[in-house]
Amino acid sequence: SAKEKGRNNYQFFSKDMAFVAARKTALEGDLNRAVINKEFTLHYQPQILAKTGEIIGMEALIRWQKNDGSIVSPGEFIPLAEETRLILPIGEWVLYTACQQAKKWHDDGNSHLKLAVNLSSLQFMHDDLITTIQKVLKTTGFKASSLELEITESVVLDDAEKAISRMQTLREIGVQIAIDDFGTGYSSLSYLKRFPLNNLKIAQPFVQDMATNPRDKSLVEAIIFIAHSLDMSVIAEGVETEEQLALLQDLGCDEIQGFLFSRPLPVAHFTKLLMTGVTPVKVI
Ligand code: C2E
Ligand code: MG
Ligand code: MG
Ligand code: MG
């Protein structure tokens, strides 16, 4: 009967849910241990000045390597880390480790490099953020003006006023702020007007389709125009082809980040790259 079927469906559904929940609980336990055992590392992806091809900075990107050697991507564990609030200790570790490393690069003759660090909404809105940042800058000796925090448009969903005042405090300290994945969230022109932002990162989907879809190209052009009008610089993420690069240079995009120049690299590789510089590579 329909009723029985319904019951069956329900059973399937609940088994499914139990499975998903069990996986999540397992991953949660792993994540807890990962924080205690420090199983995280940072990779760094160069950011390139579009006009000259010079490396002007790097984005720190977290990697979780489990004991068995397997890598869990941030796309999978960052949302869980946010849900469990483990992102707070993880995020502090990221900030400290990245600033400490970038300070070494500065001291080794690359003092022009800007360091970009991703912050989750929870981190950004947390009461301790400013204290944490000041503590990290003081302990590592890293220059505030070389640090750029990447936040997404979602930070303003809860409390726009608080987000804006937080951004202002960060700017007073000298830290730069970038909007990450611009165009994929709840972009609003009024936010752009009200946020004290330095840098706008055009989201990958626009960049990746701009060479094949004129509408994406128009959007990228408009985003660059608006950003420049508001005194912000623009970085394109996910640049993979020469064609995309040429278009972006043509449109006056300031900075480029993507596999065309380099994937995110472990510290030793990135250090080598600083000596050799980057040249576009074919992305397969
Ligand atoms: P995101 O901040 O937008 O970082 C860019 C992502 O695009 C990175 O993925 C990077 O490896 C990837 N990428 C760069 N160039 C290309 C390209 O040319 N083609 C393609 N297909 N991808 C490219 P990743 O490292 O897996 O990070 C994913 C997301 O996880 C990040 O997106 C960021 O939102 C989050 N994340 C990473 N590290 C951290 C962290 O330390 N803290 C926080 N809160 N979030 C992080
Ligand atoms: Mg980012
Ligand atoms: Mg990004
Ligand atoms: Mg992004």
| Cα angle, residue 113 at apex, residues 111 and 115 outer, rounded to 5° | 125
237 lines ligand 1 (CB under 6 A): yes
Q: Quick one: average pLDDT of 271-279?
A: 93
Q: Which of 34-43, 179-188, 204-213, 230-239 has the lowest mean pLDDT?
A: 179-188
* Residue 241 per-residue DSSP state: S
If one counts every other C-beta atom within 10 angstroms of the C-beta of residue 67, the result is: 10
Atom of ligand 1 nearest to the CA of 260: 18
In sequence order, which residues have a C-beta less than 8 Å from that of residue 44 and are 6 or more positions away?
58, 59, 60, 61, 101, 264, 265, 267, 270
Q: What is the pLDDT of residues 182-196, one digit of tens each?
A: 988 877 788 888 899
**What residue has token string 């007007």?**
193
Q: Which residue has its alpha carbon closest to ligand 1 atom 42?
A: 118
Interface predicted TM-score of the whole assembly (ipTM), two decimals: 0.97
74 lines ligand 1 (CB under 6 A): yes
* Residue 202 per-residue DSSP state: E
Query: Does pLDDT of 32 surpass 50?
Result: yes
Helices (H), 86-179: 87-107, 121-125, 129-140, 160-173
Q: Which of 179-183, 231-235, 248-252 has the lowest mean pLDDT?
A: 179-183
Q: Which residue has its alpha carbon closest to ligand 1 atom 2?
A: 118
* C-beta of residue 241 within 8 angstroms of C-beta of residue 281: no
Distance 172 CA to ligand 1 centre (A): 27
Distance 181 CA to ligand 1 centre (A): 10
Q: What is the pLDDT of residues 155-176, one digit of tens each?
A: 877 788 999 999 999 999 999 9
The token duo for 122 is 């929870």
Query: Does pLDDT of 1 surpass 90?
Result: no
Q: What is the pLDDT of residues 59-91, one digit of tens each?
A: 999 999 888 888 888 998 999 999 999 999 999
The token duo for 93 is 């570790």
Distance between CA atoms of 235 and 48, rounded to whole angstroms? Answer: 9
Distance between CA atoms of 197 and 171, rounded to whole angstroms? Answer: 9
78 lines ligand 1 (CB under 6 A): yes
Q: Quick one: average pLDDT of 223-244?
A: 96
